[in-house]
């Protein structure tokens, strides 16, 4: 065979060898594919999404995460003809069957309402693994916490408890326990230890400030802590829906829903259940006039309006005045001569002698401002001045206040001091506002004037001032490790180091004067 023939034969053998190698590769691939060795494992435990509502866990498949992790076409972001992608349809058909176990915990099994799901997934190169497992209570709780978004968003509108006060007015409070469960925090059972948790402190400080509107209510989230939002963010929680409007019908429905009688004990036919929001005897007053509580209401404007009217009346003849009485008369019906009435009673000394002055501001509303002129009445006796007989009991409910106190809402009356014994924990560097004073809860053993004294002197105490051994402030602040008295601390010393704190001292002194002297 000549050289050309040998070359041709070599080329033929080379081609045949390449074809043989290719055929072997194809056979290996077919065998590889037929045995499923190319399939990607989908660990179903990883894609178990745990949620909780009212302490009940639900487990669902996070199909979106599977689609993303395994680079499948997403029907939520692209226009797909799903009939061409049975593997994607199979992913979204997956479910978990959760069965409680007698010995505790749950059995979790992967299922699908698609009979061909396994084969469809296999066509897409997927194979499910860890499709059955057992979770204990702690496992479920951990999975729930691990799946929480960060920060966890809690809607304030979702945790409203609707009740009524003794006068039939609606009161909105925060369901603190339910909120705490929704945070995902693993709080200890020991209450004293729980109270040391900053997130716990923040949650239990939350409340609602409700202002009446023409046909409903403006609901705003409030707190006894100035930095409540920062405290919650530090613990992985962000509040949403902190301000909204309820119509009167919505509040009525909320109350009826939360206070519905159990189905097992219906009211007798002869005694129909009362309406969801019974009006007090007589015609219900205009919704703008309904103000059943002074708790959280800024009293400064109404007190200053009365102060101005008093000073205009007496002018230079006024030598001194002292507030000796204070009451708040809440209108029950339209039969009341006026709407809600805020009254201050003064012992007045003028150049002509001593007398008593009764000052009434009428028609208070949610913003605390008097909507009519202040009426001043001079009487000769203290007994007459302090009498509330002018307020007909069928038309008014009268709350006699003590030294500037408030009418408590359901969330009032708690201790105004924080865990460090402070009323205004940021007063060294942040200005105290009027609303901070009127939001103080007044405990049974202290008046507002006394609290203002604590608020002013806690600034001196934090700067190391040593009070006298018999001072109530020495006894009180000595209970806290931060109080380290060094000696006498002057106002000017505080002003040089903490100028805002000095402004707060002057502000509190002015508030004390307003409450004491009017």
Instruction: Identify the pLDDT of residue 367.
Output: 58
pLDDT tops 70 at residue 109: yes
Q: Where is average pLDDT lowest: 23-37, 82-96, 282-296, 308-322? A: 23-37
pLDDT tops 70 at residue 374: yes
| Tens-place pLDDT, residues 136-167 | 988 888 888 777 666 788 889 999 998 876 45
Cis (ω within 30 of 0) for the bond into 151? yes
The residue among 60, 57, 175 whose CA lies nearest residue 110 is 60
| Tens-place pLDDT, residues 314-343 | 888 999 999 999 999 888 776 677 778 899
More confident residue, 213 or 111: 111
Instruction: Identify the pLDDT of residue 268.
Output: 44
What are residue 68's DSSP bridge partners?
none
pTM beyond 0.85: the answer is no
The residue among 216, 219, 222, 398 whose CA lies nearest residue 290 is 216
Task: Label residue 284 by pLDDT band (50, 70, 90).
Answer: very low
Instruction: Identify the pLDDT of residue 264.
Output: 47
| DSSP secondary structure of 286-303 | PGGG-----TT---HHHH
Instruction: Identify the pLDDT of residue 71.
Output: 85
H helical segments located in 35-136 = 63-69, 86-93, 117-123
| DSSP secondary structure of 444-501 | TT--HHHHHHHHHHHHHHHTTB---TT-HHHHHHTTSTT----B---HHHHHHH-HHH
Contact 209, 172 (CB under 8 A): no
Contact 170, 254 (CB under 8 A): no
Task: Label residue 34 by pLDDT band (50, 70, 90).
Answer: very low
More confident residue, 23 or 437: 437
Instruction: Identify the pLDDT of residue 346.
Output: 94
Instruction: Identify the pLDDT of residue 358.
Output: 94
SS3 state at 339: coil
Contact 296, 222 (CB under 8 A): yes
Instruction: Identify the pLDDT of residue 451.
Output: 92
More confident residue, 117 or 284: 117
Instruction: Identify the pLDDT of residue 32.
Output: 42
Which residue, chain included where needed, has tokens 């061409």? 84
More confident residue, 192 or 72: 72
More confident residue, 420 or 33: 420
H-helix or E-strand spanning residue 249:
helix 248-258
| Tens-place pLDDT, residues 387-445 | 988 888 888 888 888 777 777 655 555 788 998 999 999 999 999 988 889 888 887 77
pLDDT tops 50 at residue 265: no
The pair of structure tokens assigned to 105 is: 């915990």
Distance CA 260, CA 341 (A): 34
Instruction: Identify the pLDDT of residue 49.
Output: 87
Alpha carbon of 180 to those of 143, 152, 183, 193, 441: distances in Å? 18, 12, 5, 15, 23
- Give the mean pLDDT of the chain: 81
Task: Label residue 282 by pLDDT band (50, 70, 90).
Answer: very low
Instruction: Identify the pLDDT of residue 420.
Output: 92
Distance CA 395, CA 142 (A): 57
Instruction: Identify the pLDDT of residue 334.
Output: 66
Distance CA 171, CA 168 (A): 9
SS3 state at 372: coil
Quick one: average pLDDT of 72-96?
A: 81
Instruction: Identify the pLDDT of residue 333.
Output: 72
H-helix or E-strand spanning residue 145:
helix 137-146
| Tens-place pLDDT, residues 453-489 | 999 999 999 999 999 989 999 999 999 999 999 999 9
Instruction: Identify the pLDDT of residue 364.
Output: 80
Cis (ω within 30 of 0) for the bond into 358? no
Distance CA 223, CA 231 (A): 12
Instruction: Identify the pLDDT of residue 509.
Output: 93
Instruction: Identify the pLDDT of residue 273.
Output: 33
Instruction: Identify the pLDDT of residue 279.
Output: 30
pLDDT tops 50 at residue 288: no
């Amino acid at each position: 065979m000549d050289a050309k023939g040998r070359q041709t034969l070599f080329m033929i053998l080379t081609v045949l060898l390449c074809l043989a190698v290719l055929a072997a590769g194809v056979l290996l691939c077919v065998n590889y594919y037929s045995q499923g060795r190319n399939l990607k494992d989908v660990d179903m435990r990883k894609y178990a999404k745990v949620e909780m509502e009212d302490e009940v866990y639900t487990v669902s498949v996070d199909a979106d995460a599977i689609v993303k992790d395994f680079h499948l076409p997403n029907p939520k972001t692209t226009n797909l003809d799903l009939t061409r992608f049975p593997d994607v349809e199979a992913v979204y058909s997956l479910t978990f069957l959760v069965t409680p176990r007698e010995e505790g915990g749950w059995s979790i099994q992967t299922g699908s309402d698609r009979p061909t799901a396994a084969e469809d997934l296999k066509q897409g190169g997927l194979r499910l693994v860890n499709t059955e497992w057992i979770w204990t209570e702690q496992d479920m709780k951990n999975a729930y916490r691990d799946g929480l978004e960060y920060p966890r968003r809690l809607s304030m509108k979702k945790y409203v408890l609707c009740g009524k006060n003794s006068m039939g007015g609606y009161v909105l409070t925060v369901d603190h326990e339910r909120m705490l469960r929704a945070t995902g925090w693993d709080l200890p059972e020991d209450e004293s230890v729980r109270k040391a948790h900053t997130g716990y402190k923040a949650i239990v400080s939350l409340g609602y400030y409700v202002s009446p509107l023409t046909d409903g209510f403006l609901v705003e989230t409030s707190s006894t802590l100035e930095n409540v939002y920062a405290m919650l963010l530090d613990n992985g929680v962000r509040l949403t829906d902190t301000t909204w409007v309820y119509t009167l019908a919505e509040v009525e429905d909320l109350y009826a829903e939360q206070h519905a009688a159990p189905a097992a004990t219906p009211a007798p036919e002869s005694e129909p259940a009362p309406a969801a929001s019974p009006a007090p005897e007589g015609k219900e007053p205009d919704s703008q006039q309904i103000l059943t509580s002074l708790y959280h209401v800024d009293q400064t404007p109404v007190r200053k309006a009365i102060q101005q009217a008093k000073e205009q009346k007496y002018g230079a003849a006024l030598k001194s005045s002292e507030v000796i009485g204070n009451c708040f008369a809440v209108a029950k019906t339209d039969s009341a001569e006026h709407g809600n009435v805020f009254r201050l009673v003064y012992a007045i000394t003028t150049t002509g002698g001593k007398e008593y002055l009764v000052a009434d501001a009428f028609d208070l509303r949610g913003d605390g401002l008097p909507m009519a002129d202040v009426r001043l009445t001079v009487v000769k006796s203290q007994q007459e001045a302090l009498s509330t007989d002018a307020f007909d009991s069928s038309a008014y409910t009268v709350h006699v206040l003590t030294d500037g106190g408030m009418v408590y809402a359901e969330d009032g009356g708690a201790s105004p001091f924080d865990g460090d014994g402070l009323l205004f924990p940021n007063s060294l560097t942040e200005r105290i506002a009027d609303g901070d004073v009127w939001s103080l809860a007044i405990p049974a053993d202290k008046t507002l004037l006394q609290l203002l004294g604590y608020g002013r002197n806690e600034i001196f105490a934090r700067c190391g001032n040593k009070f006298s051994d018999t001072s109530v402030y020495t006894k009180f602040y000595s209970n806290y490790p931060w109080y380290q008295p060094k000696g006498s601390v002057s106002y000017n010393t505080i002003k040089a180091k903490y100028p805002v704190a000095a402004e707060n001292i002057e502000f509190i002194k002015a508030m004390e004067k307003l409450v004491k002297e009017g």
